[in-house]
Structure 1
Amino acid sequence: MAETLRLDKFLWFARIVKTRAQAQAMAEEGRIRMDGRILDRAHAPVRVGDVLSFAQRGAVRVLKVEALPERRGPAAEARACYSEVDSE
Structure 2
Amino acid sequence: MRADRQRLDKWLWFARFAKTRSLAARLIADGFVRVNGQRADAPSKALAVGDVVTVAAQHGTAAVRVVDLGLRRGPAPEARLLYADLSADLSADRLADEAGPR
Moved over 4 A (4+): none
Match of 2:3 in 1: 2
- Alignment coverage as a number of residue pairs: 88
Residues 18-72 of structure 1 show CA distances to partners (whole Å, capped at 9, x for unaligned) of 0101110111112111001111200000100000012123422101000001011
- CA-atom RMSD in angstroms: 1.5
Residues in 2 aligned to 1:15 and 1:46: alpha-carbon distance in whole angstroms:
16
More helix per residue: 1 or 2? 2
Residue 51 of structure 2 aligns with an amino acid whose one-letter code is: D
Q: What 5-or-longer segments of structure 2 have no aligned partner?
A: 95-102
- The structure with the largest alpha-carbon Rg is 2
Instruction: Name the structure 2 match of 1:45.
Output: 46
The unaligned stretches of length 5 or more in structure 1 are none
CA shift in 2, pair 1:25/1:2, >3 Å: same
Where do 1:7-86 residues align within 5 Å? 7-85=8-86, 86=89
Q: Which has the higher contact order (CA 8 A, sep 6+)?
A: 1
Give the TM-score normalised by structure 1.
0.91
